[in-house]
């Protein structure tokens, strides 16, 4: 949160102002910078009641004021914790984990959500209370599986364990092995962490990745929402939406999770230090949209980006001295001094709803709003602007300290933090972006596209920032371009409709009803967030809040990659992932009342049903494939034994895809890209015939004289849910191969078995017969 924010008091009492002591525990309610006066006193004009702010009564005051959110949160967390004892993973079906969760689990999550919504909607909420309730919600939604399952979920995450352990084992990477060694940033970081933490096996901590990355992403979304919406309260509401909409399952132990976190941090740096708008025609067109549609809204005269915590939320009364709006076209607007920036028209009908507050000198962008038909004022040193020829007026201050027009600059507000020099900010942006570039293949291009869109709109300056980020991205790709083109292809075709087709449940032969339900709920959740985002855009533009164009730009940028790349059938999911944080910001704006006075406990009656609907869609979307994502310990143990004791160079076959293979540091010693029985088209559901056995032995024998075959009950569950095979198809093939004489049992652990396959074993047995 930005420094110099307001410290709110109790909803009924007024206390003596006191200096800020930190971010946590600060009030989210609007008010002048570094003032403890409540919004109620500003609205009624009554002076705050004097008294000590350091006594025990003052310390207990926030607890009393937020007792209902805290009680709901504590009760919900307690019910959730007790419910974990009753979670039975054996009850999972094609509807995932949902049937295995007891009613107390759902009740606990509902109470935590209600407490978080009530804490955000209170007239004078406390950041510490909101943060604690969001943390409880993150733990309840994303910490349940780590607490009830023995191993990290997602079979595809186990190959990341293998790369990490390879770097630990060899102290270097080998680009000839696979693409992970060409983008090793994440794996090098985790290898270093494992070494320092004394946990050489990432399985020991990887299960908590979703909790960590979701919590970190929520904090960054809160900060971004605070700056774009000029309200800490709306920032936390955006973070709440982020927690309950992160359903695509990309926050696990993977480079994508770290890259997204770094991307959000990079966006925050860019908006903070390079968000100096210069209007372009696309931006003007967006901001003129309300006028074109003849909406009864004041006209936006400038874009405020991003600015720290405002003195008042949109529509809130101000305690600043009113500045009468100019009545003639030639009247000038006095630029606000750094640290005490006030929008022109503050405290008047024309300026109602304009954010006010301390603004750093290097990034001052003052919003000037006026009713339609009123001539635009001219800023100091600028010519008068006719309302018929322009709708934007930007008052810009140079970083050197002199406001526009040469007026003397006021010193920074007490308690304020000086802005970083732009050189330092640029170095941090480049460092963050290089970490993304070295870790993930797709994310840096989405980041560059986002900055390019902002430059095109005129929101981010200078233009060479986008060029510099693009140069870093392309420069890293060039040495690996041939490798990528040969194995994956840089472009999969300029067909967006084909590129958004997924390779998940929709591609299965005959998925069970639960899988179809899971897919539809994810689609419906995405559509719901798009609708909320659209409502937020409309409400923002109608009220002249030009900053809503920033999330629009990033949502557009998130969808651009699918114009030429399907990303292995995950293109649509990546669009949802990258657009999600910005849709959450717009969704928070959609639920904001007309004025700050509308925030109260009663506002929760509007926000809670919407967030409740979103959670109802999130649960099947996120937990709908848990019976496949939660890994079987027997199968993992069998694979660990194979990599530890198997003969190097021997291929490993399995019945179905998505097994937790390549989980050891020596995974490079075993051939990759081995097909499964499903890929070979052998599991059609019929009894295997001698011809089928001959075909399978030929297919497997093509990879060498000896191979390993892995069979387990977990593979049969995958086959039953996603394919049109009969329940005992894998067991039938296993029995048939055993009778053929090609297999000998090599290792068995519970429900998992590893066989040694020999192409010539039948001939050897015949020669040894008497």
pLDDT (tens digit per residue) in 339-363: 333 333 333 333 333 333 333 333 3
For 268-279, the pLDDT digits (tens) are 988 888 877 677
What is the mean predicted confidence (pLDDT) over 606-613? 95
Domain encompassing residue 665: 632-768
Across the chain, mean pLDDT equals 75
Q: Which residues are within 8 A (CB) of 449 and not within 5 positions of it... i.e. 6 or more apart?
A: 557, 560, 561
Report the distance separating Cα 675 and Cα 714, nearest Å.
Answer: 18
Distance between CA atoms of residues 299 and 545, nearest Å: 9
Higher pLDDT, 406 or 617: 617
CATH number at residue 660: 3.40.50
More confident residue, 345 or 156: 156
- Name the packing angle between helices 571-590 and 513-542 (round to 10°): 40
At residue 27, does pLDDT exceed 70? no
Average pLDDT, integer, range 556-580: 80
Rounded to whole angstroms, the Cα distance separating 567 from 571 reads: 5
Higher-pLDDT residue of 333, 224? 224
What global pTM score does this model have? 0.79
Joined together, the tokens standing for residue 756 give 């040694």
Please check the confidence at residue 725 and state whether its pLDDT lies above 80: no
CB 297, CB 368: distance < 8 Å: no
Query: Strands 378-379 and 332-333: what pairing?
Result: parallel
- Least trusted range by pLDDT, from 226-240, 482-496, 698-712: 482-496
Q: Is residue 73 part of a domain?
A: yes
Element (H, E) at 758: strand 752-758
Both tokens of residue 477? 């790709």
Helix (H) or strand (E) holding 71: helix 67-83
pLDDT of 56 above 50: no
Percent of the chain surpassing pLDDT 70: 68
Write down the pLDDT at residue 456: 86
| Residues paired with residue 365 on neighbouring β-strands, in sequence order | 396
Beta carbons of 228 and 550 less than 8 angstroms apart: yes
Q: Which residues contact 239 (CB under 8 A, 6 or more apart)?
A: 134, 218, 219, 221, 222, 225, 584
Percent helix, strand and coil across the chain, each to the nearest 5: 55, 5, 40
pLDDT at residue 225 greater than cutoff 90: yes
Tokens of 277: 């708008």
Give the domain-ending residue among 146, 175, 208.
Answer: 146
pLDDT bucket at 292, cuts 50 / 70 / 90? low
Q: Which of 20-29, 184-193, 207-216, 615-624 has the lowest mean pLDDT?
A: 20-29
736 in any annotated domain? yes
Residue 719 located in a structural domain:
yes
Is a pLDDT exceeding 80 seen at residue 694? yes
Region 413-439 average pLDDT = 78
Alpha-carbon distance of 17 to 38, in angstroms, equals 10
User: CA-to-CA distance for 769 and 624, rounded, in angstroms?
Assistant: 53
> What pLDDT, in 10s, does the model give residues 507-521?
445 667 887 888 889
96: DSSP letter: B
565 in a domain, yes or no? no
Mean predicted confidence (pLDDT) in 669-683: 84
Average pLDDT over residues 275-287: 74
25-39, 158-172, 298-312, 688-702, range with the lowest pLDDT? 25-39
Report yes or no on 78 lying in a domain. yes
State how many domains the chain has: 2
Chain centroid offset of residue 561 CA: 18
The helix (H) or strand (E) run that includes residue 332 is: strand 332-333
Indicate whether 307 belongs to any domain: no
**Residue 419 domain-assigned?**
no
298's CB contacts (< 8 A; 6+ apart) are 350, 353, 369, 370, 371, 372, 543, 544
Tell me the pLDDT band of 293, cut-offs 50, 70 and 90: low
Let me know if residue 686 belongs to a domain: yes
Residue 764 tokens, joined: 């050897």
Q: What is the DSSP letter of 340?
A: S
| Of 146, 170, 189, the domain-final residue | 146
Beta-strand relationship, 752-758 and 706-712: antiparallel
The Cα-based distances of 9 to 46, 236, 324, 482 in angstroms read 14, 19, 30, 62
Residue 281 half-sphere exposure, CB side, CA atoms within 13 Å? 0
> In the predicted model, is pLDDT for residue 249 greater than 60?
yes
> 64-68, 118-122, 200-204: lowest mean pLDDT where?
64-68
Q: Sign of the CA dihedral 716, 718, 719, 721?
A: positive
Per-residue pLDDT at 64: 65
Choose one of 125, 146, 167: the last residue of a domain: 146
Q: How many whole angstroms separate alpha carbon 333 and alpha carbon 325?
A: 9
């Amino acid at each position: 949160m930005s420094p110099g924010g307001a410290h709110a008091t109790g909803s009924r009492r007024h206390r003596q102002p006191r200096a800020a002591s930190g971010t946590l525990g600060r009030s989210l309610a609007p008010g002048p910078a570094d003032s403890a006066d409540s919004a109620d006193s500003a609205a009624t004009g009554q002076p705050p009641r004097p008294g000590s702010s350091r006594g025990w009564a003052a310390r207990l005051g926030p607890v009393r004021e937020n007792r209902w959110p805290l009680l709901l949160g504590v009760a919900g967390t307690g019910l959730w914790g007790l419910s974990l004892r009753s979670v039975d993973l054996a009850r999972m079906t094609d509807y995932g984990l949902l049937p295995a969760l007891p009613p107390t689990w759902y009740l606990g999550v509902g109470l935590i959500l209600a407490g978080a919504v009530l804490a955000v909607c209170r007239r004078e909420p406390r950041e510490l209370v909101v943060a604690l309730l969001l943390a409880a919600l993150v733990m309840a939604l994303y910490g349940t599986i780590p607490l009830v399952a023995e191993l990290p979920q997602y079979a595809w995450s186990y190959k990341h364990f293998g790369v990490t352990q390879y770097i630990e084992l060899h102290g270097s990477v080998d680009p000839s092995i696979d693409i992970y060694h060409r983008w090793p940033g994440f794996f090098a970081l985790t290898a270093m962490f494992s070494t320092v933490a004394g946990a050489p096996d990432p399985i020991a901590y990887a299960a908590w990745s979703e909790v960590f990355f979701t919590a970190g992403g929520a904090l960054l979304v809160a900060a971004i929402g605070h700056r774009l919406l000029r309200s800490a309260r709306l920032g936390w509401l955006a973070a709440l939406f982020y927690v309950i909409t992160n359903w695509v399952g990309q926050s696990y132990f993977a480079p994508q999770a770290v890259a997204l976190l770094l991307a959000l941090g990079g966006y925050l740096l860019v908006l903070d230090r390079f968000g100096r708008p210069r209007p372009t025609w696309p931006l003007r067109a967006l901001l003129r949209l309300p006028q074109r549609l003849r909406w009864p809204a004041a006209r936006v005269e400038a874009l405020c980006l991003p600015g720290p915590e405002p003195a008042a939320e949109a529509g809130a009364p101000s305690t600043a001295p009113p500045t009468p709006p100019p009545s003639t076209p030639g009247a000038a607007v006095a630029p606000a001094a750094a640290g005490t920036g006030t929008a022109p028209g503050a405290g008047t009908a024309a300026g109602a709803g304009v954010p006010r507050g301390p603004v750093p000198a290097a990034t001052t962008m003052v919003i000037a709003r006026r009713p339609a038909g009123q001539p635009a004022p001219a800023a100091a040193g600028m010519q008068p602007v006719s309302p018929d020829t322009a709708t934007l007026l930007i008052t810009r201050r140079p970083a050197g300290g002199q406001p526009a027009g040469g007026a003397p600059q006021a010193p920074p507000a007490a308690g304020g933090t000086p802005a970083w020099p732009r050189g330092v900010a640029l170095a941090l942006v480049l460092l963050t972006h290089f970490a993304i570039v070295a870790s993930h293949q797709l994310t840096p291009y989405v980041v560059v596209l986002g900055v390019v869109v902002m430059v095109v709109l005129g929101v981010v300056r200078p233009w060479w920032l986008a060029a510099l980020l693009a140069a870093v991205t392309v420069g890293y790709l060039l040495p690996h371009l041939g490798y990528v083109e040969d194995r994956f292809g840089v472009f999969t075709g300029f067909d967006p409709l084909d590129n958004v087709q997924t390779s998940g449940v929709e591609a299965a032969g005959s998925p069970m009803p639960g899988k179809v339900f899971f897919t539809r709920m994810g689609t419906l959740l995405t559509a719901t967030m798009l609708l909320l985002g659209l409502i937020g855009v409309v409400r923002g533009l109608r009220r002249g809040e030009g900053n809503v164009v920033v999330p629009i730009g990033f949502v557009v940028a998130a969808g651009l990659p699918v114009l030429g790349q399907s990303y292995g059938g995950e293109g649509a999911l990546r669009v949802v992932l990258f657009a999600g944080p910005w849709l959450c910001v717009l969704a928070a704006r959609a639920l904001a009342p007309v004025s700050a006075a509308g925030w109260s406990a009663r506002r929760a009656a509007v926000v809670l049903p919407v967030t409740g609907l979103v959670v109802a869609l999130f649960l099947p979307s996120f937990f709908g494939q848990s019976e496949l994502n939660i890994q079987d310990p027997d199968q993992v143990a069998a694979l660990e034994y194979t990599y530890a004791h198997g003969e190097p160079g021997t291929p490993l076959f399995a019945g179905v895809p998505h097994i937790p293979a390549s989980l050891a540091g020596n995974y490079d010693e075993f051939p990759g890209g081995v097909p499964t029985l499903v890929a070979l088209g052998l599991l059609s559901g019929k009894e295997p015939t001698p011809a089928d056995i001959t075909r399978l032995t030929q297919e497997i024998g093509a990879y060498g004289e000896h191979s390993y075959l892995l069979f387990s009950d977990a593979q049969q569950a995958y086959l039953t849910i996603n394919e049109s095979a009969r329940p005992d198809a894998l067991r039938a093939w296993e029995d048939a191969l055993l009778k053929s004489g090609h297999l000998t049992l090599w290792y068995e652990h519970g429900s998992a078995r590893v066989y040694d396959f020999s192409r010539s074993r039948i001939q050897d047995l015949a020669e040894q017969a008497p």
